Amino acid sequence: MNNPYEVLGIQPTATDEEVKAAYRELAKKYHPDNYGNNPLSELAEEKMQEINEAYDTIIRMRRQGGSAGGSSSRYSDIRNLIRTGRTIDAESLLDGIPAPSRDAEWYFLKGSVLYKKGWLDDAYSHFSTATRMDPTNVEYRQAFNQLDMQRRTGGYRTAPGSNMNGCSTCDMCQGLICADCCCECMGGDLVPCC
């Protein structure tokens, strides 16, 4: 399944309220009532299902305390504070943890707090430390990638399909190879050299 946060168009650091608001907005948009006999109604239904699933997944993950990656209970209070938007309290709790016992999750959470505050540079360095300390964690990686993308592109939203503009040389080669494979399957040959 796709990343549930991407489906709802929000960040993993979003508060519960933001998740709910995003869900409601999308559900309104793709509600079957809007489509009726429209030929696109099936597509909308599919989309609706996807949204429902994404929402359920996020809520389930959050109920379990900590999202993807089964985090320890050590930070669950802080996670709760961040989720409910009390970033100042969360930050003071985080700062209270002595430097030697700061692990990847600490850096991730501190990064999230800084991100919420708008301190984007420090947030970036914390996220990157978190991913360096625990490269397998999906949650940290996602947060890092998202901010990294923003830093490189400035958030240019590329229109869907804009990376497929026209037919590049690459596409043509790919097409030829595909066609060749098909032909070979059927016993023929399109490109004799391969």
Partner 1 sequence: MLQYLQIFHEWVCEILYDGIVKMGDTMFGYVKVYQPELKMGEFEQYRGAYCALCRTLGKRYGITAQMTLSYDMTFLALLHMALADSCTGFAHGRCPYNPFKKRMCCKPSAALDFAADAAMLLVYHKTVDTIADDRFVKRLTARLLLPIMRRNRRRAALRLPQLDETLAAAMDAQRDLEQRAVSSIDQAAEPTARMLAALCACADETQQPALERLGYCLGRWVYLMDATEDLAEDLRNQSYNPLLIAHGGDVSAARDAVTFSLNASMAECRAAYDALNIRRFDGILRNVMEWGMPHMQKQVLSGEKRTRAKHRSGGFQDEQSV
Residues numbered 154-193 forming contacts with partner 1, rule: CB under 8 A? 154-157
Interaction between residue 152 and partner 1 (CB under 8 A) = yes
Shortest spacing between CB 120 and partner 1, in angstroms:
4
Check residue 147 for interaction with partner 1 (CB under 8 A). yes
Least Å distance, CB 118 to partner 1, is 4
Considering the complex, what minimum distance in angstroms separates the CB of residue 150 from partner 1?
Answer: 4
Helix 76-83 / helix 87-95 crossing angle, nearest 10 deg: 150
| Interface with partner 1, residue 6, by CB under 8 A | no
Question: Which of helix, strand or coil describes residue 159?
Answer: coil
Looking up tokens 């984007």 gives 120
Contact 67, 139 (CB under 8 A): yes
Q: For residue 143, which of 99, 103, 113 has the smallest C-alpha distance?
A: 113
How far apart, in whole angstroms, are the C-alpha atoms of residue 160 and residue 141? Answer: 24
- Nearest residue (CB) to partner 1, 119 versus 135: 119
122 is an interface residue for partner 1 by CB under 8 A: yes
Q: Does 150 bind partner 1 (CB under 8 A)?
A: yes
82 versus 147: smaller Cβ distance to partner 1 = 147
| 23, 55 contact by CB (below 8 A) | yes
Whole-number minimum distance, CB 184 to partner 1, in Å?
Answer: 47
Q: How far is the CB of 154 from partner 1 (least distance, A)?
A: 4
129-156 burial, b at 16+ Cβ within 10 Å, e below that, comes to bbbebbeebebbbbbbebbeeeeeeeee
Tokens of 118: 């708008």
Instruction: Tell me the window of 41-49, 56-64, 118-126, 129-137 that interacts with partner 1 (CB under 8 A).
Output: 118-126
Least distance in angstroms from the C-beta of 130 to partner 1: 17
Cα separation of 90 and 19, whole Å? 20
Stretch that binds partner 1, among 70-78, 115-123, 162-170, 183-191 (CB under 8 A): 115-123
Contacts to partner 1 by CB under 8 A: 114, 118-122, 124, 147, 150-157
